[in-house]
């Protein structure tokens, strides 16, 4: 049985969402944030970094602990999506390469400017001209990039919802929470469409967000 260590409220709801899309059975262990917003120390019992998501999963007879959202998604579809609903087959080499690129985008490049924005906006006043200019420039770049793509097609890999959309929806939700989507209607409508999927609602309901 897959065990998910889920920190409320946070990005591991997106891992739970993928489990729901795949129709898998899993157990949840829930953690609440401290008043500081950080994870409780007990999450370090699951993984030394003490962050979420963390999943424990049996692969080839070994119990593994995985703690990177993109890698978790990759392992889940590799083992539990034989019909290739959420990923193209590896034999479709070009589609698989494009899919892999998108699977790594959220944690590889996409989240950084949003984290900077989250932290600098918490400060409540300009932080540092270099940091502020970097943050704004990167937000313009990434949100503009995503908006162009999502205005031209329904999902990041084309017209079918696939596993990379889970991570990109995480970025879109974070951008919405930071009130950054007014000028990006393509991202905003993509977010609404994905959040209305029944599997997303089940994930939110089961985890508490």
The residue ranges that bind ligand GSH (CB under 6 A) are 7, 10-11, 38-39, 51-53, 68-69, 107
Minimum CB separation from ligand GSH for residue 50, in Å?
Answer: 6
Minimum CB separation from ligand GSH for residue 164, in Å?
Answer: 13
Minimum CB separation from ligand GSH for residue 3, in Å?
Answer: 16
Minimum CB separation from ligand GSH for residue 53, in Å?
Answer: 6
Nearer Cβ to ligand GSH (19/186): 19
Nearer Cβ to ligand GSH (88/167): 167
Minimum CB separation from ligand GSH for residue 182, in Å?
Answer: 24
Residue 47 burial (C-beta neighbours within 10 Å; 0-12, 13-18, 19+): middle
H or E stretch at 204: helix 198-207
Task: Give the whole-angstrom CA distance, residue 28 versus residue 167.
Answer: 20
**b or e along 108-132 (b: 16 or more beta carbons within 10 Å of the residue's beta carbon)?**
eebbebbebbeebeeeeeeeeeeee
Nearer Cβ to ligand GSH (67/150): 67
Nearer Cβ to ligand GSH (46/147): 46
Distance of CA 69 to the CA centre of its chain: 7
Nearer Cβ to ligand GSH (104/186): 104
Task: Give the whole-angstrom CA distance, residue 30 versus residue 172.
Answer: 24
């Amino acid at each position: 049985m897959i065990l998910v260590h889920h920190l409320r409220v946070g990005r591991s709801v997106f891992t739970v969402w993928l489990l729901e899309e795949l129709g898998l059975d899993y157990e949840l262990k829930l953690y609440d944030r401290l008043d500081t917003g950080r994870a409780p120390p007990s999450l370090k019992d699951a993984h030394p970094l003490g962050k979420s998501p963390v999943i424990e999963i049996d692969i080839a007879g070994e119990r593994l602990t995985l703690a990177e959202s993109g890698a978790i998604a990759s392992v889940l579809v590799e083992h539990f999506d034989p019909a290739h609903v959420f990923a193209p087959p590896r034999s479709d080499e070009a589609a698989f390469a494009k899919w892999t690129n998108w699977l790594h985008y959220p944690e590889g490049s996409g989240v950084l400017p949003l984290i900077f924005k989250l932290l600098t906006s918490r400060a409540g006043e300009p932080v540092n001209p270099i940091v502020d200019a970097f943050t704004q420039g990167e937000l313009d770049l990434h949100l503009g990039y995503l908006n162009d793509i999502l205005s031209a097609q329904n999902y990041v890999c084309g017209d079918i919802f696939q596993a990379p959309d889970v991570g990109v929806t995480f970025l879109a939700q974070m951008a919405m929470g930071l009130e950054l989507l007014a000028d990006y209607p393509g991202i905003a409508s993509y977010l609404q469409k994905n959040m209305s999927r029944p599997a997303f609602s089940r994930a939110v309901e089961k985890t508490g967000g």
